[in-house]
């Protein structure tokens, strides 16, 4: 079961909303825990005021493409707070970090290289006044007690890389943070970061049976002594979590005095991390064996046919294959075979071979069941970003216009037809139709019985003949569509040996540029 992860970090800049004269000097110094005296003031204020982000679904909440996420920023305070606004920020971040040791150098120093890519960063104000470019913001007071401020976010119909924390030093996280800004640019308070798992929607292709063939050799590094030939027939190339399938396996030993002693297989998940630097490339490989099964073997004379080798994929730890900027994940079925040879002087040889397979999280039948599945775009080709909108609405204001135009431009897509939506416990539920969508997509025979559409959920018409009345607006509209801006930050620093053991052993910088992906 996938759970939401809360990363407990030392809150930076968690200072008093209006620092008094005695704490003013402390409030502008470094606020890191255990570094300065500001930590005492920080801890005191943290007890008096607590800001927590809650996502609907709790620990079971999962973000998916085209999904609406709702939640609330909860504020608990024992004193009156003065603040200009309370805002929440949501961002997707991929980090690649490694300790590097250059090849051929005897230096005792090591370097920590880190590249951080922010896929998107969006925020909204859940309470307070909007910022102004030409005036100082006013502020309001929050009385002691418990306060809750709701928010809603629509994730675009875009596949981003899934959440991951492997291999060591590499991660992809989707993070929520709440900020309470002080009055007139005074320091404020921030919440702890809440990390919510994200899963893309990747569909398996049409079932295509295929056969794998290979020749096994007695010694791994030498191909002079062939030991056996293997042939495996698989019912498909890509599978889904919790799926059961069978493999037809044939093993034929080449030497006449060899028999097959045992056969076993395991599902191996491979995490490959890559850090491309100016002086070369750093690679980190991590392999995880998810399951292992022994296959019953009867007496044989060197030839063995197993027509029904059953493979039951687990539902945990089996995420889709993907490739991001710095990480790629793929799978193997690793078969291990024991060959016994000789009559008087018996010898045993263990040989293995690997069959590549793909993993998706939706079967091919979901193409006609999940709404807008065929309209999903790749994050490398689309600049759509997550958007906050009014939590009192069922969907963002421009959802109807986007859906209608998409249906007209993709008449052959599954989204232009109303299909029943089915899903199981292992796949997240697609976003349900809103009330207004159900009204809009009713058959034309019911046109006379259609209830009025809530116009608050639709974008108001714009009269382009009239000039904009900027100062007649009571407040800035909350829903503003913006293109996603991807940011990359690079850092490098020298460290002594055994510093940052969580990054593992130092890696060797390979003097070439691996731009395979």
State the average pLDDT over residues 123-136.
88
What's residue 480's pLDDT?
Answer: 59
Q: Is 56 among the domain residues?
A: yes
Domain CATH code at residue 248: 2.60.40.640
What percent of the chain is helix, strand and coil (3-state, nearest 5)? 10, 45, 45
What's residue 34's pLDDT?
Answer: 32
Q: Are residues 33 and 161 in the same domain?
A: yes
Q: Is 251 among the domain residues?
A: yes
Q: Are residues 81 and 222 in the same domain?
A: no
Establish how many alpha carbons lie within 13 A of residue 467's alpha carbon, considering only the half-sphere containing its beta carbon: 3
- The domain boundary, picked from 361, 389, 414, lies at 361
Owner of token pair 């390979």: 510
Instruction: Name residue 70's beta-bridge partners.
Output: 152
CA 449, 452, 454, 455 torsion-angle sign: positive
Establish how many alpha carbons lie within 13 A of residue 350's alpha carbon, considering only the half-sphere containing its beta carbon: 6
Owner of token pair 């060591």: 168
Confidence of residue 105 (pLDDT cuts 50, 70, 90): low
Q: Is 466 among the domain residues?
A: no
How many angstroms separate the Cα of 10 from the Cα of each of 7, 31, 32, 376? 10, 9, 7, 37
Q: How does DSSP classify residue 380?
A: T
Q: Are residues 194 and 215 in the same domain?
A: no
Q: How does DSSP classify residue 428?
A: P
Residue 364 has pLDDT above 70, yes or no: yes
Q: Is 461 among the domain residues?
A: no
Phi then psi for 468, rounded to 5 degrees? -70, 135
Residue 147 has pLDDT above 60, yes or no: yes
The residue among 369 and 263 whose pLDDT is bigger is: 263
Helix (H) or strand (E) holding 268: strand 258-277
CA–CA separation, 271 and 167 (whole Å) = 6
Closest by alpha carbon to 14, among 135, 6, 4, 33?
Answer: 33
Q: Are residues 307 and 375 in the same domain?
A: no
Instruction: Return the C-alpha torsion angle 414, 420, 425, 429, nearest 10.
Output: 60
Tokens of 5: 């992860």
Peptide bond into 125 cis (omega under 30): no
Confidence of residue 272 (pLDDT cuts 50, 70, 90): very high
Q: Please, what is the Cα angle at 273 between 268 and 201, to 5 degrees?
A: 65
Tokens of 212: 């794998």
Q: Are residues 382 and 351 in the same domain?
A: no
State the average pLDDT over residues 67-74.
95
Number of CB atoms found within 10 A of residue 347's CB: 9
Longest distance between any two alpha carbons in the chain, whole Å: 100
Owner of token pair 């809530």: 454
Q: Is 85 among the domain residues?
A: yes
Q: Is 418 among the domain residues?
A: yes
Average pLDDT, the chain: 78
Tokens of 29: 């110094």
Q: What residues make up the domain containing 338?
A: 210-361
- The domain boundary, picked from 361, 393, 415, lies at 361
Q: Are residues 391 and 284 in the same domain?
A: no
CA–CA separation, 462 and 472 (whole Å) = 15
Phi then psi for 317, rounded to 5 degrees? 65, 5
Q: Which residues fall within 8 angstroms of residue 75, CB to CB, at 6 or more apart?
A: 49, 50, 51, 81, 86, 142, 146, 147, 148, 149, 180
What's residue 442's pLDDT?
Answer: 42
CA 434, 437, 443, 446 torsion-angle sign: positive
Q: Are residues 121 and 190 in the same domain?
A: yes
State the average pLDDT over residues 188-199.
94
Q: Are residues 37 and 185 in the same domain?
A: yes
State the average pLDDT over residues 192-205.
94
Q: Is 216 among the domain residues?
A: yes
Q: Are residues 54 and 146 in the same domain?
A: yes
Q: Which residues fall within 8 angstroms of residue 443, CB to CB, at 6 or more apart?
A: none
Q: Is 366 among the domain residues?
A: no
State the average pLDDT over residues 464-475.
51
CA 155, 157, 161, 165 torsion-angle sign: positive
Whether the CB-CB separation of 352 and 344 falls below 8 Å is answered with no
Q: Are residues 65 and 175 in the same domain?
A: yes
Q: Which residues fall within 8 angstroms of residue 425, CB to CB, at 6 or more apart?
A: none
Q: Are residues 157 and 299 in the same domain?
A: no
State the average pLDDT over residues 84-106.
85
Phi then psi for 501, rounded to 5 degrees? -65, -20
Q: What is the pLDDT of residues 293-326, one digit of tens each?
A: 999 888 888 889 999 999 999 988 899 999 999 9
Confidence of residue 338 (pLDDT cuts 50, 70, 90): very high
- The domain boundary, picked from 305, 331, 361, lies at 361
Q: Are residues 303 and 167 in the same domain?
A: no
pTM over 0.75: no
Give the number of domains in the chain.
2
What's residue 113's pLDDT?
Answer: 92
What's residue 301's pLDDT?
Answer: 82
- Name the burial class of residue 201, with classes exposed (0-12), middle (13-18) and buried (19+) by CB atoms within 10 angstroms of its CB: buried
Ranges of beta strands (E only) in 456-513 are 487-495, 507-509
CA–CA separation, 392 and 381 (whole Å) = 32
């Amino acid at each position: 079961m996938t759970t939401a992860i809360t990363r407990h970090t030392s809150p930076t800049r968690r200072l008093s909303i209006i620092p008094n004269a005695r704490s003013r000097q402390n409030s502008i110094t470094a606020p890191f825990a255990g570094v300065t005296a500001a930590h005492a003031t920080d801890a005191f204020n943290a007890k008096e005021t607590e800001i927590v982000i809650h996502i609907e679904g709790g620990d079971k909440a999962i973000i998916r493409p085209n999904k609406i996420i709702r939640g609330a920023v909860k504020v608990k305070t024992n004193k009156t707070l003065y603040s200009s606004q309370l805002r929440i920020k949501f961002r997707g971040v991929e980090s690649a970090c490694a300790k590097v040791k250059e090849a051929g150098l005897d230096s005792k120093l090591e370097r920590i290289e880190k590249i951080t890519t922010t896929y998107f960063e969006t925020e909204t104000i859940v309470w307070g006044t909007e910022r102004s470019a030409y005036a100082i913001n006013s502020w309001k007071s929050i009385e002691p007690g418990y306060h809750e401020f709701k928010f809603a976010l629509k994730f675009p119909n875009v596949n981003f890389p899934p959440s991951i924390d492997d291999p060591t030093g590499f991660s992809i996280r989707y993070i929520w943070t709440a900020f309470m800004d002080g009055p007139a640019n005074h320091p404020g308070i921030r919440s702890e970061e809440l990390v919510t798992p994200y899963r893309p929607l990747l569909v398996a292709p049409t079932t295509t049976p295929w056969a794998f063939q290979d020749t096994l050799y007695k010694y791994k590094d030498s191909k002079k002594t062939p030991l056996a030939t293997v042939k495996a027939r698989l019912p498909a190339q890509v599978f889904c979590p919790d799926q059961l399938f069978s493999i037809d396996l044939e093993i034929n030993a080449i030497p006449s005095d060899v028999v097959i002693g045992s056969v076993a297989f395991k599902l191996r998940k491979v995490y490959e991390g890559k850090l491309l630097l100016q002086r070369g490339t750093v690679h980190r490989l991590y392999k995880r064996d998810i399951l292992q099964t022994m296959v019953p073997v009867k007496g044989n004379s060197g030839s063995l046919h197993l027509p029904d080798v059953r493979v039951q994929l687990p539902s945990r730890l089996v995420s889709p294959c993907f490739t991001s900027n710095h990480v790629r994940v793929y799978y193997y079925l690793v078969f291990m075979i024991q060959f016994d040879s000789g009559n008087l002087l018996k010898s045993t040889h263990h040989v293995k071979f690997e069959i590549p397979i793909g993993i998706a999280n939706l079967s091919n039948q979901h193409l006609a069941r999940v709404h807008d599945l065929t309209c999903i775009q790749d994050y490398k080709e689309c600049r759509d970003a997550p958007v906050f909108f009014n939590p009192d609405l069922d969907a963002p204001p421009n959802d109807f216009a986007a859906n209608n135009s998409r249906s007209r431009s993709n008449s052959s897509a599954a989204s232009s037809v109303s299909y029943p939506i089915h899903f199981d416990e292992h796949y997240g539920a697609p976003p349900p139709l809103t009330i207004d969508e159900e009204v809009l997509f009713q058959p034309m025979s019911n046109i006379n019985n259609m209830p009025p559409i809530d116009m608050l959920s639709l974008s108001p018409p714009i009269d382009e003949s009239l000039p904009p009345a900027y100062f007649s607006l009571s407040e800035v509209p909350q829903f503003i569509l913006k293109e996603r801006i991807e940011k990359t930050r690079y850092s490098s620093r020298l460290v002594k040996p055994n510093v940052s053991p969580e990054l593992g052993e130092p890696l060797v910088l390979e003097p070439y540029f691996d731009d395979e992906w």
